């Protein structure tokens, strides 16, 4: 069935009627509140609820303003949140009750570019994984050689570490340049990082959790996912090289993590589910899955060098290249009995693919600074420079159905 939206996208950055994302921010001079989007316009959900268009959801939507994020909506659970998305999808089509009240429609919609978008939820916990085999092999080969590229545990479990929730920031913010300890000729030296990098990641926010002491299998964790979003987990590679043994990255990753302001419900991405890779070893039962486990989502990274207005695409990849699924990552998080809570963030790690242009960070694209990438006007980059802006976008497309992931952008400062 062809869907006929009330508002059509002006460009590829606009949201289709098939997407209906959820966000949080200030629009139309009103206090920060729950939002959705269609075309290049945001839709104020609290205003829709106040006028009686969202029966059964009013209280949770209004609570978001007081809470400072979408957490009350996420706490409804994945399936109830999906029902809200379906209701909005019906309302935002031609011939709907909202279509008959064009004055109200004009009052509750505002240009995205005039909206102050914030973190979509209050994030209590954040776990970052290492789920791309292509990325793990390339980076491992750089630092340990090809024979020891993958650690012995990598094929048996989704490797991850606990990130820093306090330094997660929304899209379109300036990122402070990190300082720290780095390897030197005569021991460690301290100063500004010389290898500031981005990492293109696929993330999810949880709608519901599990009780402490109750593991959840990969076949069941999908019910815990409220939606997906793009993540840029900034990294200082030289600081990381010095500190990561034996407990993994720490200050090299905690200075900032940027996330898209838009949460894409799993129902929107259901048409794009695809098979994941065949496990190369026998998996423990809690990690085993049946059916389609991955998503076919195109991802891109653009770099806008300091002092220019032109974006240059430097990476193309796809979430189907991930070895581990998001459900497997969540299952491994809970296997010891760890409790997941509504509003937690889980990120895949760098989503690299098999080809050189699928490298989803500069560490890979430049072979740790050995092969600079060429930009316009004779500019080159091995790692980021002050004033550079990184823009990440994603979309899934099949026939007439297109779902946008939104974008996450950030400019590295001094």
Measured at the CA of 76, the angle between CA 72 and CA 82, to 5 degrees, comes to 115
Element (H, E) at 104: helix 102-108
The distance in angstroms from the start CA to the end CA of the chain is: 51
Cα 262 to the center of its chain, rounded Å: 9
Distance CA 328, CA 157 (A): 9
Q: Name the catalytic one among 18, 60, 135, 332.
A: 135
Distance CA 8, CA 10 (A): 6
DSSP assignments along 168-237, one per residue: EEESSEEEPPPEEEE--TTS-EEEE-S-EE--EEEEEEES----TT----TTTGGGGEEEEEEEE--EEH
Q: Are strands 389-398 and 225-232 parallel, antiparallel or unpaired?
A: unpaired
Residue in this structure with the two tokens 């072979």, named with its chain if needed: 367
Cα 184 to the center of its chain, rounded Å: 34
Which contacts (CB < 8 Å, 24+ apart) does range 368-374 have?
A: 368/142, 368/237, 369/195, 373/314
Cβ contacts of residue 278 below 8 Å, gap of 6+? none
Query: Active site includes 135?
Result: yes
Asked if 260 and 406 count as a contact pair (C-beta separation under 8 A), the reply is yes
Picking from 256, 231, 227, the residue whose alpha carbon sits closest to that of residue 413 is 256
Burial 307-317 (b: 16+ CB within 10 A, else e): ebeebbebbeb
Question: Which residues are known to be catalytic?
Answer: 135
């Amino acid at each position: 069935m062809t869907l006929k939206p009330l508002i059509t996208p002006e460009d590829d950055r606009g949201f289709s009627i098939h997407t209906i994302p959820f966000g949080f921010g200030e629009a139309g001079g009103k206090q920060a509140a729950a939002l959705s989007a269609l075309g290049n316009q945001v839709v104020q959900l609290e205003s829709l609820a106040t006028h009686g268009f969202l029966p059964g959801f009013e209280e949770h939507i209004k609570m978001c303003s007081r809470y400072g994020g979408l957490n009350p909506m996420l706490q409804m659970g994945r399936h109830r949140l999906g029902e809200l998305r379906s209701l909005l999808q019906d309302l935002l089509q031609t011939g709907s009750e909202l279509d008959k009240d064009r004055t109200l429609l004009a009052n509750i919609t505002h240009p995205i570019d005039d909206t102050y978008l914030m973190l979509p939820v209050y994030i209590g916990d954040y776990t970052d994984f290492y789920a791309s085999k292509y990325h793990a092999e390339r980076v491992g080969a750089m630092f340990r050689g090809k024979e020891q590229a993958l650690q012995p545990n990598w094929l048996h479990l989704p490797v991850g570490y606990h990130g820093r929730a306090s330094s997660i920031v929304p899209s379109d913010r300036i990122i402070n340049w990190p300082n720290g300890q780095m390897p030197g000729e005569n021991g460690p030296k301290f100063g500004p990082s010389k290898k500031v990098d981005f990492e293109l990641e696929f993330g999810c926010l949880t709608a519901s959790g599990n009780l402490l002491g109750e593991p959840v299998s990969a076949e069941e964790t999908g019910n815990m996912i409220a939606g997906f979003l793009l993540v840029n987990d900034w990294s200082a590679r030289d600081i990381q090289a010095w500190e990561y043994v034996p407990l993994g990255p720490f200050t090299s990753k905690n200075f900032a993590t940027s996330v898209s302001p838009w949460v894409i419900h799993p129902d929107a991405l259901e048409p794009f589910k695809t098979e994941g890779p065949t496990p190369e070893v026998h998996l423990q039962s809690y990690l085993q899955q049946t059916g389609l486990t991955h998503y076919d989502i195109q991802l891109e990274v653009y770099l806008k060098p300091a002092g220019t207005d032109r974006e240059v695409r430097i990476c193309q990849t796809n979430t189907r290249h991930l070895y581990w699924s998001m459900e497997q990552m969540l299952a491994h998080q809970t296997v010891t009995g760890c409790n997941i809570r509504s509003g937690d963030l889980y990120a895949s790690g760098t989503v690299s693919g098999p080809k050189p242009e699928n490298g989803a960070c500069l560490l890979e694209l430049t072979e740790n600074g050995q092969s600079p990438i060429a930009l316009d006007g004779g500019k080159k980059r091995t790692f980021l420079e002050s004033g550079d802006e990184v823009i990440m976008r994603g979309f899934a497309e099949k026939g007439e159905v297109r779902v946008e992931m939104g974008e996450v952008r950030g400019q590295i400062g001094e």
